[in-house]
Amino acid sequence: MSFIELKREVYEANMELQHRNLVTYTFGNVSQIDRDRAVVAIKPSGVPYEALKAEDIVIVDLENKVVDGKFNPSSDTKTHTYLYRQWSDIGGITHTHSTYATAWAQAQLAIPCLGTTQADYVFGEIPCAPVMTDARINGDYEEETGAQIVDCFAGRDPNESPMVIVAGHAPFTWGKDAAKSVYHAVLLEEIAKMAYLTKTLNPAISPLKQGLVDKHYLRKNGKNAYYGQAS
Amino acid sequence: MSFIELKREVYEANMELQHRNLVTYTFGNVSQIDRDRAVVAIKPSGVPYEALKAEDIVIVDLENKVVDGKFNPSSDTKTHTYLYRQWSDIGGITHTHSTYATAWAQAQLAIPCLGTTQADYVFGEIPCAPVMTDARINGDYEEETGAQIVDCFAGRDPNESPMVIVAGHAPFTWGKDAAKSVYHAVLLEEIAKMAYLTKTLNPAISPLKQGLVDKHYLRKNGKNAYYGQAS
Amino acid sequence: MSFIELKREVYEANMELQHRNLVTYTFGNVSQIDRDRAVVAIKPSGVPYEALKAEDIVIVDLENKVVDGKFNPSSDTKTHTYLYRQWSDIGGITHTHSTYATAWAQAQLAIPCLGTTQADYVFGEIPCAPVMTDARINGDYEEETGAQIVDCFAGRDPNESPMVIVAGHAPFTWGKDAAKSVYHAVLLEEIAKMAYLTKTLNPAISPLKQGLVDKHYLRKNGKNAYYGQAS
Amino acid sequence: MSFIELKREVYEANMELQHRNLVTYTFGNVSQIDRDRAVVAIKPSGVPYEALKAEDIVIVDLENKVVDGKFNPSSDTKTHTYLYRQWSDIGGITHTHSTYATAWAQAQLAIPCLGTTQADYVFGEIPCAPVMTDARINGDYEEETGAQIVDCFAGRDPNESPMVIVAGHAPFTWGKDAAKSVYHAVLLEEIAKMAYLTKTLNPAISPLKQGLVDKHYLRKNGKNAYYGQAS
């Protein structure tokens, strides 16, 4: 894939974030990796979506060095590249401060699986990475944010929950490419809203029984999935 | 009614769901039965609304065999056909994961009748079918979802509540045709939102007195209804 | 004012209700009285806003007899005419089932004055007429709804709160003409939403101190009002 | 800057308030000061946004005397001029009754810093000026509102929280010019919504740890800020 094509895909994924009403002003950023070239295309820092053009997308290598582009990359670039380095089968990452997902992050609570809407996409709860230690905050903060996320998936396949919330901060989502990571960001916001309403309506509610989680997750995502059209 | 006309009606009802903001991506599906031909037209599985065309609607018989159409029917088809087989006077069915109705489903609570907005359309509470047993989940899941709904109406006319929520899952609504089932899906979401706000504002509130439920339901739906224009 | 002009004003006020997102389907109705002719123009019953035309508006006299128009008037007509007969200085009435105002009605709670947004328009709390007795429900229900509202204003000028909620039902608002009653319906919904958020955030909050209610209400509505442009 | 240019900037900032859905009818007003000429341009009182034109903006001096314009200035003008007189480095002020920020004001609670969304713009909590005393209410009310705000920042740089809520009333925000004050009004509403959701989801949540507040505030606002593009 040429840089022009890669920038175009990342540009469109960033604009889709805005189209889906997940951003206020310059909040949020989307990236996509080209594994063959070992480069990542990402939104420039602090540029409003209204003014963003495909050619403004910045290309960096996996050590965060700018390879192409005239702008500074997103201040969250190191979080993206850390995740790409650690998780070899993800292709796109989205970071937002979407309202309901961020409320769960601020409440410092994982989102329990309360219904099949979540189970269709996530195998169980959506984890909440703990508030970072002072050592991590005062270290290479954005890179450490990536490490905080990876640590909280210890022993869990990141594809089983293509989304996480970071306590006191906000969500990150991922997928096979930039577009899919945005898709998961939209779903997360809707799931987070439903979960908020459920918990405030019935605080004593328990997570969904495992049999129903299995059924819904596996009919869409398992080896014998039967949802959608044969590909 | 020709297959082309039937598909057109079901297509328009599905698009109305999106127009009313009740769906995210591919969530939701609407069907309509032609009782004379004993066939059901339903949305194909996993096709985004933006891409949906009238000719993509799938026709199945009441045993879920595809009679016409090139796509797989909705993965929820067996729930629809089960309901059509059991309830001979319904003509259309809508399934959504609309936000507030789904929150009540996830809270595993029936929606009590708290005001005349609900009583205008539903004679009492909107039932919540319990979370399914493992036997049902591991059986013919989508058909068993239909059975779970019918069981929870035992002794109650399904026309008295043209809507139900399935615990841990989401709502189903019905009516004389596809369009009317969508109409009820829109009303359910609004009723569910009002009920959520009411219960979180005043958790001790009791259901509306029966006399007022009777008055409103019967002035619109009883033998002596006097709402609207004479037909 | 000719019937044509009166119908036009009532038509536009009804359409404004929809434009302001206060109605779902056929919910709601707006009327205006011509005191000189002692006639009231009101929305026909059960006609969707999308299909409504100015000539469809119905003219009735104060005893609810249709004077002009080919449709049945709103099923709530008797509530409107009762209020016009009792309160000689109101000129327009709006009835909606707007979401937050209806939630307060369903919670059977008056809306306390919690801030200056309310005090700018209402001198104190927005009253909640109690749930009607069975005798009233089984009597001339819609006329008794009007009586229930008037009773709950006993000793209070209806201009001091140009809005009321009826327990278990929904709000009614009024003003010098149809347009102003819609204006008050929009404000009520916004005030009801703010009050809902305030009470769920801080259930122990007390009503606003009287000095601040007086200041805001009187700077906009008193003899020495100084808000807006000199007329 | 000419009066025409100043009015144009203030007009556009006022219209942006409406475009961002922060106003109902005539609620809200935005002003900007020209420090060289010691004049303030502000929205006229009670004029609907739909009807507002750039030439309708009123110019007053710092003692609230109209210098140019045919309308009465906003009834809140004295609050604006008081703040401009006391805080010499602010250039624009916005007052709204935006829904969530006003709910916090009505709940009479400061907005604690619960996440990095707030810490990116505000160094700690967003203060809540107390309900005014009767002496202040019955004095020069709008000027005293300004004094109430300044008092509650005693010992705190107003740039560290370019926003405040006034108990029982609503928010005020500021910035280097009118446009920036509107920008802060939009952010405040989003922050207030997130904080509302967080507190109702987890009432026991504590404010964000100071290390994370420092990190986010200073990476965007400190001497060594590294967010955005080099200017």
| Residue D197 to residue A103, Cβ atoms within 8 A | yes
Strand B128-129 and strand B163-166: the pairing is parallel
pLDDT (0 to 100) of residue D230: 64
Backbone angles phi, psi at A97, to 5 degrees: -115, 45
Residues 6 or more apart whose CB falls under 8 angstroms from that of B199 comprise A201, B114, B205
Comparing alpha-carbon positions, the chain A residue that sits nearest to B96 is A117
CA C69 to CA C7: how far, in whole Å?
10
| Residue C117 to residue D97, Cβ atoms within 8 A | yes
Task: Report CA Rg, chain A.
Answer: 17
Query: Which token pair is D95?
Result: 């007052």
Query: Which token pair is B225?
Result: 């209804």
Confidence band for A230, pLDDT divided at 50, 70 and 90: low
Query: Which token pair is C81?
Result: 């005419």
3-state secondary structure of A10: helix
pLDDT (0 to 100) of residue A231: 53
Measured on CA atoms in the order B228, C3, C9, C15, is the torsion positive or negative? positive
pLDDT (0 to 100) of residue C30: 98
| Residue A102 to residue D194, Cβ atoms within 8 A | yes
Confidence band for B225, pLDDT divided at 50, 70 and 90: confident
pLDDT (0 to 100) of residue C155: 84
Comparing alpha-carbon positions, the chain A residue that sits nearest to D191 is A99
CA A200 to CA B204: how far, in whole Å?
15
| Residue A211 to residue B106, Cβ atoms within 8 A | no
Q: Compare CB distances from D137 to C190, C200, C215 and report the shortest one's residue.
A: C215
Query: Given a cut of 60, is residue C88 above it in pLDDT?
Result: yes
CA B135 to CA A204: how far, in whole Å?
26
Secondary structure (DSSP) of D89-106: T--EEEE---HHHHHHHH
**D120 catalytic per annotation:** yes
Chain A residue numbers with beta carbons less than 8 Å from the beta carbon of B141 are 215, 219
Backbone angles phi, psi at C63, to 5 degrees: -105, 20
Chains that touch C (3 or more CB pairs under 8 A): B, D
Chains that touch A (3 or more CB pairs under 8 A): B, D
Q: Name which of C21-25, C179-183, D167-171 the model is least confident about.
A: C21-25
Whether A125 contacts chain B with CB within 8 A: no
Query: Given a cut of 90, is residue C212 above it in pLDDT?
Result: yes
How many other β-carbons are positioned within 10 Å of the β-carbon of residue B104?
A: 28
Query: Which token pair is C131?
Result: 């749930």
Query: What is the percent of chain A with per-residue pLDDT over 70, rounded to a whole number?
Result: 99
Burial bucket for residue D152 (CB in 10 Å: 0-12, 13-18, 19+): middle
Minimal Cα–Cα distance from C91 to chain B, Å? 25
**A177 catalytic per annotation:** no
Which candidate in D120, D177, D196, D214 is catalytic? D120
Query: Which token pair is C95?
Result: 């009835």
pLDDT (0 to 100) of residue D227: 74
* Catalytic residue list of C: 120, 227
Burial bucket for residue B116 (CB in 10 Å: 0-12, 13-18, 19+): buried
Instruction: Please state the rounded mean pLDDT for residues B192-220.
Output: 96
- Tell me the longest C-alpha to C-alpha distance in chain B: 53
**Per-residue pLDDT in tens (0 to 9) along chain D, 231 residues:** 899 999 999 999 999 999 999 999 989 999 999 999 999 999 999 999 999 999 999 999 999 999 999 999 999 999 999 999 999 999 999 999 999 999 999 999 999 999 999 999 999 999 999 999 999 999 999 999 999 999 999 989 999 999 999 999 999 999 999 999 999 999 999 999 999 999 999 999 999 999 999 999 998 887 888 777 765
Query: Given a cut of 80, is residue B26 above it in pLDDT?
Result: yes
Residue D201 Cα distances to A119, B82, C165, D103, D196, angstroms: 21, 39, 29, 16, 8
Query: Given a cut of 90, is residue B229 above it in pLDDT?
Result: no
What residue has token string 């899919």? Answer: A180
What residue has token string 């088809």? Answer: B77
Query: Given a cut of 80, is residue C231 above it in pLDDT?
Result: no
Q: What is the pLDDT of residues B137-180, one digit of tens each?
A: 999 999 999 999 999 999 899 999 999 999 999 999 999 999 99
Q: Going from the N-terminus, what domains does chain D have, and what CATH number goes with each? A: 3-221 (3.40.225.10)
B122-156 burial, b at 16+ Cβ within 10 Å, e below that, comes to bbbbbbbbebbeeebbeeebbbbbbbbbbebbeee
pLDDT (0 to 100) of residue A228: 79
Instruction: Please state the rounded mean pLDDT for residues B217-230.
Output: 82
Q: What is the pLDDT of residues B68-116, one digit of tens each?
A: 999 999 999 999 999 999 999 999 999 999 999 999 999 999 999 999 9
Q: Compare CB distances from B134 to A211, A227, A230 and report the shortest one's residue.
A: A211
3-state secondary structure of C5: helix
Query: Given a cut of 60, is residue A213 above it in pLDDT?
Result: yes
pLDDT (0 to 100) of residue A227: 75
Q: Name which of A20-24, A221-225, D94-98, D207-211 the model is least confident about.
A: A221-225
Name the packing angle between helices A178-201 and B99-107 (round to 10°): 60
Instruction: Please state the rounded mean pLDDT for residues C53-59.
Output: 98
| Residue A201 to residue B99, Cβ atoms within 8 A | no
pLDDT (0 to 100) of residue B31: 98
Chain C residue numbers with beta carbons less than 8 Å from the beta carbon of B116 are 168-170
Q: In this structure, are residues D79 and D96 in contact, taking their beta carbons and an 8 Å threshold?
A: no
Residue among A99, A100, A98 at smallest CA distance from A197: A100
Q: What is the pLDDT of residues C102-159, one digit of tens each?
A: 999 999 999 999 999 999 999 999 999 999 999 999 999 999 999 999 999 998 999 9
Query: Given a cut of 60, is residue A163 above it in pLDDT?
Result: yes
Q: H/E element holding C171?
A: strand C171-175
- Please state, rounded to an integer, the average pLDDT across all residues of chain C: 96
Whether B209 contacts chain C with CB within 8 A: yes
pLDDT (0 to 100) of residue D190: 98
Query: Given a cut of 90, is residue A144 above it in pLDDT?
Result: yes
Burial bucket for residue D1 (CB in 10 Å: 0-12, 13-18, 19+): middle
| Residue A205 to residue B107, Cβ atoms within 8 A | yes
Whether C129 contacts chain B with CB within 8 A: no
Whether A170 contacts chain D with CB within 8 A: yes
Instruction: Please state the rounded mean pLDDT for residues C205-228.
Output: 90
pLDDT (0 to 100) of residue D231: 53
What residue has token string 């619960």? Answer: D114
Whether B125 contacts chain C with CB within 8 A: no
3-state secondary structure of C92: strand
Query: Given a cut of 90, is residue A1 above it in pLDDT?
Result: no
Angle at D224 between CA D221 and CA D228, to 5 degrees: 60
pLDDT (0 to 100) of residue A225: 82
Secondary structure (DSSP) of D47-112: --GGG--GGG-EEEETT--EEE-SSPB-TTHHHHHHHHHH-TT--EEEE---HHHHHHHHTT--B-
pLDDT (0 to 100) of residue B230: 64
Whether A196 contacts chain D with CB within 8 A: yes
pLDDT (0 to 100) of residue A229: 78
Q: Compare CB distances from B138 to A208, A211, A230 and report the shortest one's residue.
A: A211
Q: Compare CB distances from A106 to D115, D187, D226 and report the shortest one's residue.
A: D115
Chain B residue numbers with beta carbons less than 8 Å from the beta carbon of C76 are none
Q: Compare CB distances from B103 to A197, A215, A219 and report the shortest one's residue.
A: A197
Chain B residue numbers with beta carbons less than 8 Å from the beta carbon of A186 are 24-25
> What was the ipTM of the complex prediction?
0.96
Q: Which residues pair with A95 in a beta bridge?
A: A29, A172
Confidence band for C225, pLDDT divided at 50, 70 and 90: confident
